[in-house]
Amino acid sequence: MIHATLQVRRWGNSLGVVLPRDILMEENVGEKDMVDIVIVKKKKSSGFGMCKGALPYFEDEDEHPDIS
């Protein structure tokens, strides 16, 4: 079993994905072969507000003084 993250694209009135050649070669998949596909939608994350509710950041005091 191979795992790949692929982007869904529009083709006319349909949606589809392109299977990368290296995966097809590794699994020996050819034209008109039947395959099972499990679809798991990933959440889009912008990163904005990811730390919402987190405590403020305070830098710890240096435990070891700088010896020069």
CA–CA distances in Å: residue 59 to residues 52, 54, 56: 19, 15, 10
Q: CA-to-CA distance for 11 and 31, rounded, in angstroms? A: 18
DSSP for the chain, please give it: --------EEETTEEE-PPPHHHHHHTT--TT--------PPPP---TTTTTTPPPP-PPPPSS----
State the pLDDT at residue 48: 65
32-68 residue pLDDT tens:
999 998 888 887 766 666 666 777 766 666 666 666 5
State the pLDDT at residue 42: 81
